[in-house]
A and B are shown apart, each in its own frame.
Chain A
Amino acid sequence: MCKLKLAVIGSSGAGLPILNSIFRNMPRLRGAIVLIQHMPAYINQSVRDNLAVHTQMTVKLAEQDEWIKSGIVYVAPSELHLKIVSNLRIHLVGGEKVNYVCPSIDVAMKSLTRDSEIRVLGILLSGIGDDGVQGIGHIKRIGGETIALEKKATSIGGLTDEAVAMGHVDSVMSPEQIRDALIRHLGRETGKPDAGKQSAK
């Protein structure tokens, strides 16, 4: 039996407009999404607010030690690494930058463990550098499905190029296809449209 369906999205430069495309008209899903976006701390809240406009899912900044729940998009706050403990709980931890960033996509993705009761989808969008390449490989190794954004959809494709070249990526997709893959992987929630949206932080 599947306890939780989880998607972890790693995104860096040029990722915000792509995220808006992916989440535009996104229904409430029967699973959770954790988003690691490289960004300065002072736009954390507006990034949350922007995404919340597009989707029926609850969108919130991730908080220390909270349990991951279905129907929620957790946005990693800047200046803390985000780990997922036992595949079910958020843990925020300070520390040195990894791959020049904090939070690091690699740190979040590599905190996941193989678990037959958790279905994991790892997605890499756009950016420069290495952060996320090892992480998406880790998700593939623990039995998760992995997706990278197609190169023509971004002005900065170095990150996904490397992940694909390393053999870490199952599928290369457009933003629209990634949106469909999220819906397919997590499933649509029925019966509770827009529940909890107003309480998002």
Chain B
Amino acid sequence: MKDTVMVVDDDPMLQVTVRRILESANLKITTVDSGEACIREVENGFEGLILMDIMMPGMDGWDTIQTLVDKGLVKGNIICMLTGKETPDERMKMLKEYILDYIRKPFDQQQFVNLVKEYLSFL
């Protein structure tokens, strides 16, 4: 089982919070603040669970995932949305083979850790 998680979110508070929660569960965390930075990390060899926000400056979450798919970079990763947006929009339909969950903020910490570990167990 891999133990690496990348948080893709332009909200620094969210990055700090998720890092604290997941590091206390002995997971290794990478945080980036844009879709472009996420793609660079994956191109540089990141493999693990990617927790992707939707609304970010520049590339949004959907564009980022589509780019990962188009570049053949999804293999070795599990992608879940991590967002405050209540319901998924239409663009998720086209990417649903690659997005395994839609986790809404705020979340229960223990349930979140359990879910992250469950998804990592598939890698």
Contacts and interface: CB of A to CB of B under 8 A. Distances in A.
A43 B96 contact: no
B102 A43 contact: no
Contacts of A143: none
Interface in B83-102: 87-88, 92-94, 96-102
Contacts of B75: 40, 42
Contact of A13 (B76, B99, B115): B99
A158 interface: yes
Interface residues of A, number: 25
Contact of A158 (B74, B87, B118, B122): B87
B22 to A, nearest CB: 17
A198 interface: no
Contact of A16 (B88, B93, B97, B122): B122
Contacts of A155: 101-104
B119 interface: yes
- Provide the main secondary structure of the chain A interface: loop
Given A40-B74, A101-B96, A101-B97, A46 B87 contact: no
Interface of B: 74-76, 78, 87-88, 92-94, 96-104, 115, 118-119, 121-123
Contact of B122 (A47, A99, A129): A47
10 contacts: A13-B88, A13-B92, A17-B118, A40-B97, A99-B93, A100-B93, A127-B96, A128-B96, A156-B101, A156-B102
B119 A128 contact: no
Contact of B101 (A13, A43, A78): A13
